[in-house]
Amino acid sequence: MPRRRSDSPSSSTAPRNRTPQPVRVRRRSFGDFVKAFLAFVALLVLLVGVPLALAMTAGWPFPDTFEPMEWLKQDISVSTFLSILTFVVWLAWAQFTACVLVEMKAALSGVGVPGRVPGAGPSQLLARQLVAALLLVGATAASFTPSLAQLGQTYDDNQRPTVAAAQQTPGLFAQQQEQAANTAAAVAEQASHTEATPAAAKKQGDTKFYRIQPPEGRHHDSLWEIAERHLGDGRRYKEIFELNKDRVQPDGSRLNEASLIRPGWIMEMPGDARGGDLVEMPDDAPEVSPEVRQQISDYAKTGDGASGGGDQAQGGGSGSDEAQGSGSGSGGGTAHVNVPEQRPAPAGETGHADLRRPAPDQVATPARDSSSFGLPEALLAAPLLAAGLLGALGHRRRQALWQSAFGGIGGRRGMEPPTPTGDALDVQDALLVGADPEGVRLLDRSLRGLAASLAAESRPLPTVYAAWMSNGDLHLQLAQPSGKPPAPWQLGQDQTFWMLARADAERYEDVDTAAPYPGLVSLGTMDDSRLLLNLESVPGIVSLSGREEDRAAVFASVAAELATNGWSDRMTITLVGFGEDLTALAPSRLRHLDGIEALIETMEAETRQRRGALGAAGHDSVLTGRTGPAQHTRWAPHLVLLAAEPSPEDAMTLAELAADASRLGIGYLVGTGSGDLPGAAWEMEITGAGKLLAPLLGLELDAQLLPAAQQRAVVQLFTESDPERSPDGPGTTPPFLVDISEQGRPAVYARLVGSYEIIGLETPDGERSALLHEALALLLLHREGVHPRVLSSALWPRGVTDDVREALIGRLRDWLGTDPDGSPRLRTDDAGRLTLAKSVVSDLDVLRSLYHEATQGKGVDSRAVRGRLLTDALVLVRGPLLADRPEGRYRWLTHEIVDAQLPLLVADTGLALAEFHMEKNRAEKAIEALNAALRTAPADERLWNELLRATHALDDPARLTALASDLVTRSGARGLPPRTEALLDELLPTWRDAVAAAG
């Protein structure tokens, strides 16, 4: 179908979309009359010619008598077969005739969605096309007909079951969505409004009006398109919205959201509006019916001074609105909300959704730091991306740590990950500040809980186009109404929104079910709401236009979040044209292909395989496959991110592959420099100012980006933490060594290993004591320095103002005091990070220093010194780190790897001391050291193995059997680790019988 372009001056720069096209009111051409004539001939042949031909050649299809038993006894002859075939043809004709009648009735009555004739997918589609062409010369056809060119494209869609069809053609439910949206708009009337009519838009004697047109095909009018046609710039839709906001329309309702307008409504236009007979003036519109002219005249009286009365009337009716709101599915009686202005979009179009922002309740937004201290703003503004990267980075560092501890025989290796510097350090701080792990956890539990609830009710997962996270609440935007959601979910602002309040989400527990929507990825924010687009549900290709560097920042952000997010199980993300180094973030998820040719070959095979797998499993889409007893890895999405612009031929090939992709769990995001990508279903544009625009989707977001500099720094963090990067693993030298001699007595000594105690400082008075203790603990665990933003985000995860943070730092500096030379013990380095003086020491610092000195310092050459140092180190171990920390505090420890470092350090110390004693055959001393280490590191297999060897050295089979029985009990259903089991077979071959006999 040829692309229709706007005649407006801005059409060359404004984002465009291939389908649906903006509404064009045009006169019927000669071609339309030809199509109508051909459609009439086709209908005449099919409706009249076919039955006449059948009647003359085969006769009436029913037999003269009804004798089923006699029919069954007769032989099946050629005439019998022909009679059956004739009956089938008669039945097909009757079904097609019923489809024509249904479509004709819907067209003439103005119904946008005709009823479905059972089992008549292709027949009804053909009837719809012919009736549409026949009525194309009239006004009624515009309300329901798709293009004739879509016949071949939509044939398969009509054969798909409900879920798959909903993914491909959400516009079929446009009327229901529009009715629900209108109801929600009435419920969500605002309690107070401000008149902001642009003065230049209204001139006395030059007032113009526009009447919202009925849908043409499935292309609904929108304020953006009206502004583009008649004002020359779609961005001026806000002027139209302000001129008409809250004024009573002919049907009695009001305009209170820019994306919710109805056919028949009247819009007062700015004075410079142009556009011929589409802009109607009440005193000069002879072609308009008297009824419409009266409606416009009545509407004109509600403007200017009458608007105040409108507000007053609205206020007077607020009680009824609140009553409606309390009874709605949106929860509570908070119907009066502030909805941010946004670009409107046509709702209910084929392959499109109006991704309008949900209307959240008014809540106070937590105060945030107003200054960034030079940290990358892109990561500070991406809490879900930062949380994913931070979690993946912590996992990578733990892998390196464990591999270092258990990886080889050639001596114990270090346990200190490399300390980042420069841009990598800034990015790490930005991740710590910006991350919202609690938000990720709630999102993951909420989605899995919803899937589990739907599976319990034997209901399929609804197709979700997007998710909005707004003030702690989660709003899912559905492709079409899917009934009442399971509790505690509620209907949102209309039937296409399911909403879950944060308080309800916090009550969800972990459930063992597959992630239902793993393709969700953050695109950006609108005011305080964050949009996550479900890439795998988009019915076709999503294109992204803009400058290459801006597109690259969006692609990198999408790839990084998809690779590390916490609300997905397994998935495949294919990168083409960018991001070869990004595969270091998640080698199991990310893969890089060299070119488009390799991509097309790969995706053709993947598409065939998935179609076959769905058919063999009896599922109509991956959504139905993910509910019930689905395997977590079976229906993982495959998301393609193609930054290199394809040729027109390759683009059409990709479009053909993407036509059925949404039900297969495959999503495509493709970059284009020109903004004109053949076959694109949804089009977006990234501007140089960081705005993500998609007018026909209702989007104008502050885009989530990962610029090139931050991308390189993130990759550096991951590659330096790679356990395979160096044979030596993490570093062997602690970041901070203390003087362990008598002359090195510290001024302030904090005990962190076990219960938290501080020696050398007075306990602060008042409720701020706990906060100061927590701040000091964070600084003690980061001797390299802590950024002030990192400190404040750790203590106040929900945000804090600059003055509160600075007041805390001042109190902490006063509490720590000064050294004898007058220098403060809390200092600020050249990079602005907070550091502690060497006179402030923790027992963890001493433990690390003692072990380092025993194994790499003086203890290497002196056995006596090594034994004394290791014994002193083990004496310091009193339990886990910060064992008595209060509930709800020290949540920042989840980002640290010290919880894994400390048990390994204690285990290494115990092993080294046991080895020291076993060299002199002091098995009891070795057992004592190992048991001391096991109190802090009870899961370390190395300690248990050395304990078995030391016990075996006592030559006491009963004691060894008791220890083996204890190990089996501790292992539970998992059983003994293979190495431990093999060791027991060597030391005590009869251990299985002995353990079984012991019970």
pLDDT band at residue 155 under the 50/70/90 scheme: very low
Residue 659's SS3 state is coil
Structure tokens at 264: 């028949």
**Cα dist from 846 to 405, 501, 626, 751, 753, whole Å:** 21, 47, 52, 10, 11
C-alpha to C-alpha distance for 387 and 379, rounded to whole angstroms:
10
Residue 129 token pair:
């096309």
Q: 67-76, 325-334, 531-540, 621-630: which has the minimum mean pLDDT?
A: 325-334
What is the structure's pLDDT at 280? 56
Residue pair 223/370 in contact (Cβ under 8 Å)? The answer is no
Q: How far is CA 323 from CA 317, 404, 806, in A?
A: 10, 64, 47
The mean-pLDDT minimum among 395-409, 544-558, 694-708, 820-834 falls in 395-409
Name every residue whose Cβ is closer than 8 Å to that of residue 268 and which is 6 or more positions away in sequence.
207, 208, 209, 240, 243, 244, 247, 299, 300, 303
Give yes or no for residue 848 having a pLDDT over 80.
Answer: yes
Quickly state the pLDDT bin for 286 (edges 50, 70, 90): low
The Cα 157–Cα 659 span in angstroms is 10
The number of CA neighbours under 13 Å toward the Cβ of 370 is 6
Residue 271, pLDDT score: 80
Peptide bond into 735 cis (omega under 30): no
Q: Look at residue 145 and tell me whether its pLDDT is greater than 60.
A: no
* Lowest-confidence region among 23-32, 395-404, 901-910, 956-965: 23-32
Per-residue pLDDT reduced to its tens digit, 563-612: 999 998 888 999 999 988 899 999 889 999 988 999 999 999 988 888 88
The one-character DSSP state at 46 is I
pLDDT (0 to 100) of residue 74: 61
Contact 349, 780 (CB under 8 A): no
- Angle of helix 898-918 relative to helix 383-406, nearest 10 degrees, comes to 10
> Mean of the per-residue pLDDT values for the chain?
76
pLDDT digits (tens, 9 = 90+) for 449-484: 999 999 888 888 899 999 999 888 999 999 889 899
3-class secondary structure, 758: strand
Does residue 738 carry a pLDDT above 90?
no
Highest-confidence segment of 24-38, 343-357, 635-649: 635-649
**Residue 523 token pair:** 């695109």
Q: Strand, coil or helix: what is 470? A: strand
Q: What pLDDT score does 51 carry? A: 79
Residue 124 to residue 831: CA distance in whole angstroms? 70
Task: Please check the confidence at residue 130 and state whether its pLDDT lies above 50.
Answer: yes
What is the separation of C-alpha 639 from the centre of its chain, rounded to a whole number of angstroms?
13
What does the alpha-carbon distance between residue 848 and residue 678 come to, in Å, rounded to a whole number?
62
Question: Which residues, at least 6 apart from 221, have a Cβ–Cβ distance to it below 8 Å?
Answer: 23, 212, 213, 215, 261, 263, 346
Q: Select the more confidently predicted residue: 601 or 408.
A: 601
Identify the sign of the CA torsion 133, 139, 142, 145. Answer: negative
Instruction: Tell me whether residue 886 is exposed, middle or buried, using C-beta atoms within 10 angstroms of its C-beta: 0 to 12, 13 to 18, 19 or more.
Output: exposed
In angstroms, the CA 555 to CA 566 distance is 19
Q: Could you give phi then psi for residue 591, rounded to 5 degrees? A: -140, 150
Residue 381 φ then ψ, to 5°: -95, 10
Beta pairing, strands 748-751 & 529-534: unpaired
Q: How confident is the model at residue 674 (pLDDT cuts 50, 70, 90)?
A: confident
Q: Which two tokens stand for residue 589?
A: 């998820």
Mean pLDDT over 409-416 rounds to 46
- CA 779 distance to own-chain centroid: 34
Taking a C-beta distance cutoff of 8 angstroms, is the pair 682, 6 a contact? no
Two tokens at 667?
Answer: 């999503």
Cis status of the peptide bond prior to 114, with omega within 30 of 0: no
- Tokens 């879900």 map to which residue? 384
The distance of Cα 571 from the centroid of its chain, to the nearest Å, equals: 14
pLDDT of 563 = 93
- Residue 113: pLDDT band with limits 50, 70, 90: very low
Q: In whole angstroms, what is the distance from residue 155 CA to residue 242 CA?
A: 43
Lowest mean pLDDT among 33-37, 112-116, 169-173, 231-235: 169-173
Cα–Cα distance measured from residue 878 to residue 935, given in angstroms and rounded to the nearest whole number: 9
- Kindly report, residue by residue over 773-818, the tens digit of the pLDDT: 999 999 999 998 999 999 998 898 878 888 899 999 999 999 999 9
CB 903 within 8 A of CB 415: no
Q: Name the residue with higher pLDDT: 206 or 962.
A: 962
Per-residue confidence (pLDDT) for residue 60, from 0 to 100: 64
The string of pLDDT tens digits covering residues 413-443 is 455 667 788 888 889 989 998 899 889 999 9
With a pLDDT cut of 70, the percent of the chain lying above it is 73
Which has the closest alpha carbon to 779: 714, 845, 875, 734?
845
Smallest Cα–Cα separation from 662: which of 632, 644, 680, 638?
638
How far from 794 is each of 374, 719, 798, 799, 919, CA to CA, in Å? 18, 26, 9, 9, 46
Beta-bridge partners for 686: 692
Q: Whole-angstrom Cα distance, residue 303 to residue 310?
A: 9
Structure tokens at 831: 């990079």
Using left for φ > 0, alpha for ψ between -120 and 50, and beta otherwise, residue 356 falls in: beta
pTM recorded for the entire structure = 0.62
> How far, in whole angstroms, is CA 492 from its chain's centroid?
19
Position 136 scores a pLDDT of 57
State percent of the chain over pLDDT 90. 27
